[in-house]
């Protein structure tokens, strides 16, 4: 039943799906870019700043767009109103958990990186931005799993 519900997509859900996927793509793109810049920065201050700002100005807005799109399509496809005795499919649960957990980790990485950015002015902060880089890679890995789950729809 849930597989049928997932397969049947009314025309009115196309735009919310577009918003969701576009937001997720911006989020993943921001994470890839920030991680690449922070990994190869090797203490170079402009590269560290660029990496952090990418996380803040690209990945974070992408997360919000993705999450708004997710909630919108959840309502449109009536996943909040399943018949009695029918559970949500696994892929939807995986997507929800990883989206929210990833969002929380993104917030932590931005706070840690923000402190690092302030300390860069006094010659420190590189260690904190390295922590931001590691968190970015962890979040990226989580979102790769989320994309796999949302696209492949495992039972």
Partner 1 sequence: MSFDDWILALHVLSAFAYVAGIILFWVLIVAVRKTDDPEGTLRMQPASMVGNAVIGIGAGGTIILGIWLAFSVGDYAIWDFWILAAIVLWAIAAGIGQRTGKAYMQGVTKARELESAGQRGSNAELLALNRTQIGVRLHTAATIVVLLILIDMIWKPGA
In 3D space, the residue among 19, 56, 17 whose CA is nearest the CA of residue 34 turns out to be 56
Is residue 149 within 8 Å of 91, Cβ to Cβ?
yes
Q: Is 142 in the site for partner 1 (CB under 8 A)?
A: no
Q: Could you say which of 6, 25, 101, 105 contacts partner 1 (CB under 8 A)?
A: 25
Q: Could you say which of 22, 101, 126, 138 contacts partner 1 (CB under 8 A)?
A: 22
* Those residues with Cβ within 8 angstroms of residue 137's Cβ, 6 or more apart along the chain or in another chain: 35
> What angle do helix axes 126-152 and 45-54 make, rounded to 10 degrees?
40
CB of 130 to partner 1, least distance (A): 16
Q: Could you say which of 80, 81, 84, 155 contacts partner 1 (CB under 8 A)?
A: 155
Q: Is 80 in the site for partner 1 (CB under 8 A)?
A: no
Q: Could you say which of 33, 76, 96, 119 contacts partner 1 (CB under 8 A)?
A: 33
CB of 84 to partner 1, least distance (A): 27
Is residue 152 within 8 Å of 91, Cβ to Cβ?
yes
Question: To 5 degrees, how large is the angle CA 104–CA 110–CA 114?
Answer: 150
Stretch that binds partner 1, among 44-52, 73-81, 94-102, 125-133 (CB under 8 A): 44-52
In 3D space, the residue among 60, 8, 6 whose CA is nearest the CA of residue 30 turns out to be 60
Q: Six-digit token pair at 111?
A: 């706070």
Subset of residues 60 to 79 that bind partner 1, contact rule: CB under 8 A: none
Stretch that binds partner 1, among 24-32, 74-82, 102-110, 119-127 (CB under 8 A): 24-32
Residue 27 CA to residue 33 CA, distance in Å, equals 10
Binding site for partner 1 (CB under 8 A): 14, 17-18, 21-22, 24-26, 28-33, 36-37, 40, 44, 46-47, 50, 54, 58, 144, 147-148, 150-155
């Amino acid at each position: 039943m849930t597989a049928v519900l997932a397969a049947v997509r009314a025309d009115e859900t196309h735009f919310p799906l577009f918003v969701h996927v576009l937001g997720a793509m911006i989020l993943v793109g921001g994470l890839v870019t920030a991680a690449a810049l922070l990994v190869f920065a090797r203490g170079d201050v402009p590269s560290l700043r660029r990496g952090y700002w990418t996380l803040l100005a690209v990945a974070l807005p992408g997360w919000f767009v993705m999450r708004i799109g997710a909630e919108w399509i959840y309502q449109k496809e009536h996943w909040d109103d399943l018949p009695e005795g029918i559970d949500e499919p696994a892929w939807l649960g995986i997507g929800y958990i990883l989206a929210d957990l990833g969002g929380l980790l993104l917030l932590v990485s931005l706070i840690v990186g923000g402190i690092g950015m302030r300390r860069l002015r006094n010659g420190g902060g590189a260690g904190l931005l390295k922590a931001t880089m590691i968190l970015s890679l962890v979040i990226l890995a989580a979102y790769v799993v989320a994309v796999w789950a949302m696209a492949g729809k495992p039972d």
